[in-house]
Structure 1
């Protein structure tokens, strides 16, 4: 081995080591860094427009973009979060005091089910009615305790949240102001073919914008519509249930139905027929239509990913990375497909070309 090759390998090893060490340092605030990068990518077109109007003042353009980001995205989320915490605390207190009894609700539904349906449940060895009621009561108590614990944890970690939020805003400002030059330097340092780098970067930014904007539009629409119909029907905690429906709508093919379907069944089983019919009709024709129409247009069309890949990558990403996985999963899937698309023609055999 020549000294030149040895130096190259030693430098490559050093480069990998310091990169891993730097990543470990950032990991503590990986959520703040991740969403800072995501917001910078989403608001980059707006920043470029402002920069054209004030080409000699990039700092002012970045500050204006940051202010618009605060007004459009962060302020509404803060208001919703405050309302969510208040309603979650109220519902938890009512569950603990017995004013809300999920076990009783389930018993009412079972009492309205025909005898043959109850016998069918027993024949299928699903479990007995009593066991189902006991399990549902246990799950409801655990869910309410988990929700209360989350609310308490948020309160205890206020300082950590403020620090992470400040880091995200600080990073977002510099990514908006210096993002173009930083991306250029990263591209120059990446040892790939120029055409491949350009294609991968375009794919990366396209998937992020389509996934975030598409999923957020679908989630916000379904959550708002679900909360609105719950409020109209007099169901307690419409903001809480709306937020839950918005969160669940991030899961393709599952969606907000996990919330409104059991409520509709309860209405129908307990004699509140018109409420059940209205909620079922609204859920199928309005809430469900949003998912079936908007998601393929906003997500699948731009990412050019099949629906099953979007579903699996979203579920897998959220299982590994939590809430941010609904972005990370499809991005990894899209880059996986893009890399193999670049690799396959280059290494295809002469007979297959």
Structure 2
């Protein structure tokens, strides 16, 4: 009597569990995607560090520690700059007579003489009246901060896992994926290409522009130079005019406040150095981080993703567009035996 095979797992169970797993990971999808991309950029350093440290896990840990330092140093500079401004603001407020008047008016009904029929407001009632609104704002701020901290923790630990065990995880996915190995490899290549293109192709040129702009802000003596440098980096994703969205208003502000020489100097640096740096650097970094999409489509996909899902859409937009292009090419090749004629 032959042994009966157990019934196969119903497909609906598989689909439901996969969807549930995706929903569990969805809140921190950006941290996971960034970890895979950063791990791909750093993985070539692992063999050399493994020979130096003796174990692959130690090499991955060393690279992760260096990555944490690279992340925390700019954040610390910005935090110190903002903290200094906050302390100055608090000192100015503490010396302001208007602040004392404002607190007195909270308990004296705007400074008017108390009405015999209407007693002055109780401070406790004022707290109860406005406390719910303040508590709601604080809760929202703390929730956002907690999510950011958890996301950063997941990104750092996931980067370590990718560096230490990334190839093994990919081989497992290759063996168990419903896609053919060749198709999975092409999607994986498109996925990693998007990361390299955004980090090196877009971010590399933007970082160079932001560094030059930050140095210019420091030399000229503009308040909050590191914050303005980060804004310049963020604006650099817009082709041609991106960085000008930051330094042009700063130059105008300098001119309006009587610092004409500083405004002219910043304008010269902006046009002659910051504005042309993108065209000078991008051809050299394209060989390491070329994203196989037109620059205009990359910009549109970033803004489209931003409008659709918020800040994380800056990453999601180009990623979805690049994977969609790869899917179109795969289907076309399966049908016609050659890649389609798509714009580069």
TM-score normalized with structure 2 length: 0.71
Shift of 1:305: 1.7
Distance 2:244 2:294 in 1: 22
Match of 2:217 among 221, 227, 230: 230
C-alpha contact 2:237 2:299 (8 A) present in aligned 1:
no
C-alpha contact 1:251 1:315 (8 A) present in aligned 2:
no
Number of residue pairs the alignment of both structures matches: 293
Comparing both structures, which one devotes a greater share of its residues to helix? 1
Distance 2:173 2:254 in 1: 57
Equivalence for 1:211:
198
C-alpha contact 1:85 1:151 (8 A) present in aligned 2:
no
Distance 2:139 2:248 in 1: 29
Equivalence for 2:316:
328
Shift of 1:226: 1.7
Distance 1:289 1:152, change over 3 A: farther
C-alpha contact 1:212 1:327 (8 A) present in aligned 2:
no
Distance 1:257 1:150 in 2: 34
Shift of 1:283: 0.6
Equivalence for 1:187:
174
C-alpha contact 1:210 1:302 (8 A) present in aligned 2:
yes
1:338 is the counterpart of 2:329:
no
1:65 is the counterpart of 2:63:
yes
Match of 1:200 among 179, 187, 194: 187
Distance 2:275 2:81 in 1: 23
Equivalence for 2:22:
23
SS of 2:290's partner is: helix
Shift of 1:266: 3.9
Shift of 1:295: 4.1
Root mean square deviation of aligned Cα: 3.7
What pairs with 1:117-266 in structure 2 (closer than 5 Å)? 158-266=145-253
Distance 1:331 1:92, change over 3 A: farther
Shift of 1:87: 5.5
SS of 1:67's partner is: helix
Task: Note the residue ranges of structure 1 that are not aligned, 5 or more in a row.
Answer: 1-6, 100-148
C-alpha contact 1:227 1:238 (8 A) present in aligned 2:
yes
Distance 1:211 1:187 in 2: 25
Task: Note the residue ranges of structure 2 that are not aligned, 5 or more in a row.
Answer: 1-6, 97-135
Equivalence for 2:75:
78
Distance 1:160 1:216, change over 3 A: same
What CA deviation, in whole Å up to 9, does each residue of 1:111-160 have, x standing for no partner? xxxxxxxxxxxxxxxxxxxxxxxxxxxxxxxxxxxxxx999966675554
TM-score normalized with structure 1 length: 0.70
SS of 2:242's partner is: coil
C-alpha contact 1:87 1:239 (8 A) present in aligned 2:
no
What CA deviation, in whole Å up to 9, does each residue of 1:5-39 have, x standing for no partner? xx77x733222211111122223333433333332
